[in-house]
Amino acid sequence: MVIKKIGILTGGGDCPGLNSVLYGIMLKAFEAGIECVGILRGWKGFLENETISLDIAKHDDLHAIGGTLLYTSRTNPFKDVSKAKTEDEKEKIREKVARELATKYDDLGIDALIVIGGDDTNGVADAMHKYTGAKIIGCPKTIDNDLSGTDFTFGFWSGVQLASNTMDNLTTTARSHQRVFVVEIMGRDAGFLTMYSGISTGADIILIPETPFSLEDDVIQVLKNRVNAGYKYHIIACSEGAYPNKNSLDNDFKTITQETIDKLPKDPFGNPILPALNISEIIVKELGMRKDLIEEFNRNNLEFECRSVVLGHTMRAGTPNAFDRILGLRFGLAAMKLVIKGEFGKMISLQGNKIISIPLAEGARKKFIEKDSDLLELRDLMVKVRYLSKKK
């Protein structure tokens, strides 16, 4: 079947570079004589037939503009799957919904669909392709960079730069007041944003979800070591998804328990809404209750003053940097080329500096910082060597 019209949607949290992908798709589609239909608000617009026509002549330089022209949402067409009790039931609901979704192509008047989203959005696309053979292509998007099957997602480096700039800038006020700053950085499940920005800015402590921390050993003891080595201000880069380990949670924390974490509200895909926890503020409160820590500061002629800063959505805001513009354009071009070749059920991927495609099922999985990553080694060295090398 010749493809004449394609639908494009963006789902999940926005990030810089979404419009770059869109522009890459539109450039190639124009050359191929294929019409582009923008589906609004992710899967919501797909289900409710909310579309706009995309005329490339009206969107010069769209690739340099932040956010998404198509709006986005966290609508989950598979939300009923979580209500099923058995795996069997879950599978049946998934298949039924996937079949219903595939019939929407006719209502929307599209021959194929490109979805730009994270593991949730690409997971829906994968199920549609698996059960119905739907003509669908996935483009990996997440500011968190936690999608397997691609070395980097667009938006990530823009977010890293924003967080690094903020932490660089915070050092002047931290130094002036001789304070401790706990900076909370996005990244629900994986610590890539915190790790890259933390290392780049030279944060003094870096806490990420992959290595549950001990408040006693990884924070309090390090702060004591640092003040005794002569340091007068400290920046702690803390991922919003960084959790204390069980031992520390049970023994060091006075303001939260496991129950607090288990009871967090969830988004439509079942992900905990972590800003509701506000781990940076919890750390500030816990540290403020530690007399031994305050005394150590006082012995070094310092007041103990600690503040939290939540970067939150500022990290997803603004224009994409040059890397993300180019990566987005390359992803868009590659997605459109797959449509033209009729190769569906694939996700675009960056490997090394090559753009390739992989099966949707492989790419939609989560990625984490691995245990043997040199980033972990760098982080640990950076923290330790500083106070050890200056020990009085």
Footprint of ligand F6P on this chain (CB under 6 A)? 12-13, 74, 142-144, 186-188, 240, 274
Please, what is the minimum distance in Å from the beta carbon of residue 240 to ligand F6P?
Answer: 6
Please, what is the minimum distance in Å from the beta carbon of residue 17 to ligand F6P?
Answer: 13
Please, what is the minimum distance in Å from the beta carbon of residue 274 to ligand F6P?
Answer: 5
Please, what is the minimum distance in Å from the beta carbon of residue 182 to ligand F6P?
Answer: 17
Q: Are 363 and 147 spatial neighbours (Cβ–Cβ below 8 Å)?
A: yes
Quick one: 143 or 339, whose CB is closer to ligand F6P? 143
Quick one: 240 or 286, whose CB is closer to ligand F6P? 240
Please report, for residues 83, 368, 388, the alpha-carbon distance to residue 188 in angstroms, rounded to integers and kept in the order given. Answer: 23, 11, 32
Which of 322, 238, 340 shows the shortest CA–CA distance to 283? 238
Work out whether the CA dihedral 73, 77, 80, 84 comes out positive or negative: negative
Alpha carbon distance 125, 134 (integer Å): 8
* Helix (H/G/I), strand (E/B), else coil: 255: coil
Please, what is the minimum distance in Å from the beta carbon of residue 281 to ligand F6P?
Answer: 16
Cβ neighbours of residue 237 under 8 Å, at least 6 residues apart? 163, 167, 183, 185, 194, 197, 198, 201, 203, 205, 206, 207
* Helix (H/G/I), strand (E/B), else coil: 253: coil
Which of 22, 40, 29 shows the shortest CA–CA distance to 4? 29
Quick one: 13 or 38, whose CB is closer to ligand F6P? 13
Alpha carbon distance 362, 338 (integer Å): 17
Quick one: 204 or 240, whose CB is closer to ligand F6P? 240
Q: Edge to edge, what strands does the sheet with 5-10 contain?
A: 51-54, 35-39, 5-10, 112-117, 136-140, 346-351, 354-359
Quick one: 214 or 271, whose CB is closer to ligand F6P? 271
Please, what is the minimum distance in Å from the beta carbon of residue 185 to ligand F6P?
Answer: 9
Quick one: 274 or 333, whose CB is closer to ligand F6P? 274
Q: Which residues on neighbouring strands pair with residue 53, listed in sequence order? A: 37
Quick one: 77 or 118, whose CB is closer to ligand F6P? 118
Please report, for residues 31, 92, 106, 301, the alpha-carbon distance to residue 47 in angstroms, rounded to integers and kept in the order given. Answer: 29, 20, 12, 63
Alpha carbon distance 159, 346 (integer Å): 26
Please, what is the minimum distance in Å from the beta carbon of residue 264 to ligand F6P?
Answer: 11
Q: Which residue has the CB atom at the shortest distance from ligand F6P? A: 13
Quick one: 316 or 346, whose CB is closer to ligand F6P? 316
Which of 63, 135, 33 shows the shortest CA–CA distance to 332? 63
Please, what is the minimum distance in Å from the beta carbon of residue 193 to ligand F6P?
Answer: 7
Alpha carbon distance 217, 220 (integer Å): 6
Catalytic residue among 14, 119, 126, 144: 144
**Is 111 in the active site?**
no
Alpha carbon distance 391, 124 (integer Å): 54
Residues recognised as catalytic? 144
